Amino acid sequence: MLFFGGDYNPEQWPERVWDEDVALMRQAGVTIATVGVFAWSHLEPSEGRFEFGWLDRVLDKLHEGGIKVALATPTASPPPWFTLAYPSAMPVNADGVRLTHGSRDTYCVSAPAYRTAAMTIALKIASRYAHHPALAMWHVHNEYGTDCRCDLTAAAFRTWLQKKHGDLDALNSAWTTAFWSQRYSDWAQIMPPRATQYLPNPAQVLDFRRFLSDELLAAYIEQRDLLRGHNPDIPVTTNFVQGGWVSVDHARWASEVDIVAVDHYPSSSGIGAEEETAFAGDLARGWGGGSWLLMETAPNLIYTRDRMHAKEPGRLTRHSLGYVARGSAGAMYFQWRQPRGGAEMFHSALVPHAGPDSPVFREAVGLGRTLKNLAPRLASAPPPDSQIAITWDAASWWALQGGGLPASDLDYLGAVRQVHRALFRSSLQADFVFPGVSVSSFGDYRVLVVPHLYLVSDPVAAAVREFVAGGGHLVVGYLSGIALPDGRVRLGGYPGAFREVLGVRVVEWQPVAPGESFVLDDGSHASRWRERVETAGASTIARYADGVLAGSPAVTRRRFGAGVAWYVSTGLSDEGWQRLLGVVAAEAGVEPVVAGLPDSVEAVRRGDLLFLFNHGESVVTVGSTAVPGGGVRVVSGLSASSSTSSAFGCPAPITPPGTPSDKPTAKSASPG
Ligand code: GLA
């Protein structure tokens, strides 16, 4: 069975709507509903007074309808009574302002009162429902990531620091507290980063984010162990949220959940949304070691920067199958029914305000059928497999968000997404690896791409060296290998950790003003960043073509042992990265999933299934398979030309109205 469903909030509706919900879920082929995520104030209306009757009835109705339940602990949103009873458990921001209820996530994870209240409601839920026949999964909390800088947090931070650094001398050294007279002579002097006069100490900020990730994880583990104790057969997870503000290192958390569950909301209305979907799927698969679950996405909207963009017909299906192709155990949404009020009343849902007589519900019905048909074929299909790995490191992201850096717009996420996008556009499938957590995974890859891996430990540097010496192809982008994991710079020239293997020494950075672009002597365009690079064993592949660096190396390549190490000292354009990574992949003998695809077509191989997504409007033929505009085809067998294909979804979404399949063929491509 593939999971298909989403957040279901029956507490927002009168009971008479619940029967219709179950009937519509059955019509759409929903297999699972996530219940209770924000129901704390309905389950415990005042402290110690519990009301479970309504939830009993909801779970029973879902069970009678054959729908499984991911039952949540509602601890992300404590009720108003909690605030008034335990004001010291409310979060305090960096400016010292204590927040109050009125939204969600108003709690301090280090506050004993919060932890106790959370465990109390979790215990009630666990003991009541652990053996309910509808229960398929526990969904702990919601999107851990809440930040607090209060005195309780300060105390917990100090305990964490003592464990990590051992003594104050070690901390003073790791944090370079000799700078600006910050030397600590007593643990009690150490605070979480709070509003201060000028720039904070970057090492303090970095350690605080790591602390917060561990502190939130401890709160999750507490609940997980409680739930497991009541029924060890039910998997436990929590939904990961991504964002620069989130102090959660998901790569570290992944080993603590039974299945990695990810919420993902693309932010571009154009093909960028598909590129982001692919990125999120590949990253989540990396966290999950192959398997994962899309826990929430928006059925019918894409949040762009300043507005909601309604998905075109067929796009819900393509996005959903995109996640599944990249290893998700299903497709789940926020949310089932669009609420009548509340802060997110216009967030889209499978049943919108218009009701089931709506394009989104009709497409959901088709998608439910599609997933049902696909499930048996996926049961034996291993997750996508790749010979190319990209590094991901939450701590490097955090380090590059600070002040006092050479440019204020350093963009870790953007840099990683850019190399993934370049591979995506060449139909080169990529995995993610997590050198900040484990260094053992480079071995089987042919190509390792290292964008903005700012923090690098000595063992990781050694593993990368070994990877190349053993025949791997390494591509390191600027701002990698700069500092030790504690944030102190590696001396002797950048990129310290990788200088030897790359055969280069960078002696000066020249960040470039926003909007300014320049060319290299091979015709590549670049922006954002330039460096003065000295070669020390590497050959120059492209040089800066003008300006003060005219004639000096921009892109280099070095044979090292049995492998090759490339260095990219500048912000190549998308086309530049695509060309470069195409060359590297070809040298490394890595084939695209399907060669020569038009830009609008995405191919993903999962086991012996080939998923072909046509994000354009015209029909495209891949091998012997015609993929209509806006449609998806899943091909059995390793080659599209010698296999049977199936169209997925209801006819409308797969071949959207106005894009008949007899439109002229845009391009033909052959599977690789
Ligand atoms: C996340 C949250 C949901 C909701 C959606 C939409 O997925 O988990 O509760 O807020 O975002 O914003």
**Residue by residue, what is the 3-state secondary structure of 575-618?**
HHHHHHHHHHHHHHCCCCCEECCCCCEEEEEECCEEEEEECCCC
> Do residues 258 and 235 lie in contact, with contact meaning Cβ atoms separated by under 8 Å?
yes
The pair phi, psi for residue 349, each rounded to 5°, is -145, 165
* Res 383: pLDDT: 86
- Ligand 1 atom with the smallest distance to the CA of 298 is 6
Q: How many residues are recorded in the chain?
A: 672
| Ligand 1 neighbourhood includes 44 CB (under 6 angstroms) | no
H/E run at residue 347: none
Which of 12, 38, 139, 263 has most ligand 1 atoms within 8 Å of its beta carbon, as the pocket-test mutant?
A: 263
Dihedral sign for Cα 445, 434, 324, 656, please: negative
Query: Which whole-number Å values give the CA distances from 472 to 289, 448, 577, in the listed order?
Result: 21, 7, 19
Q: What pTM was computed for the model?
A: 0.95
* Res 439: pLDDT: 72
Residues of the chain with pLDDT under 70: 440-441, 638-672
The pair phi, psi for residue 485, each rounded to 5°, is -55, -25
Dihedral sign for Cα 15, 17, 21, 27, please: positive
| Ligand 1 neighbourhood includes 143 CB (under 6 angstroms) | yes
Q: Which of 296, 363, 531, 602 is catalytic?
A: 296
- Ligand 1 atom with the smallest distance to the CA of 297 is 7
| Ligand 1 neighbourhood includes 348 CB (under 6 angstroms) | no
* Res 670: pLDDT: 46
Q: CA 225 from chain center: how many Å?
A: 25
* Spatial distance between the Cα atoms of 395 and 250, rounded to a whole number of angstroms: 11
Q: Which of 517, 500, 511 is nearest to 569 (CA)?
A: 511
**Is 363 one of the annotated active-site residues of the chain?**
no
Which of 334, 337, 346, 348 has most ligand 1 atoms within 8 Å of its beta carbon, as the pocket-test mutant?
A: 334
| Ligand 1 neighbourhood includes 142 CB (under 6 angstroms) | yes
* Res 384: pLDDT: 87
Asked, as a colleague might, if the bond just before 485 is cis with ω within 30 of 0, I would say no
CA of 263 to the centre of ligand 1 (A): 8
> Do residues 624 and 641 lie in contact, with contact meaning Cβ atoms separated by under 8 Å?
yes
Bridge partner residues of 309 (DSSP):
302
Find where tokens 């919601």 sit: 142
- Ligand 1 atom with the smallest distance to the CA of 295 is 7
Q: Which of 143, 274, 275, 363 is catalytic?
A: 143
DSSP 22: H
| Ligand 1 neighbourhood includes 299 CB (under 6 angstroms) | no
The pair phi, psi for residue 534, each rounded to 5°, is -105, 135
The helix/strand/coil state of 495 is coil
Strands (E) across 287-378 are located at 292-296, 301-303, 308-310, 328-333
* Res 645: pLDDT: 61
Asked, as a colleague might, if the bond just before 495 is cis with ω within 30 of 0, I would say yes
Dig out the tokens for 651 from the structure: 């006819």
* Res 443: pLDDT: 78
Bridge partner residues of 303 (DSSP):
308
* Res 304: pLDDT: 92
**Is 296 one of the annotated active-site residues of the chain?**
yes
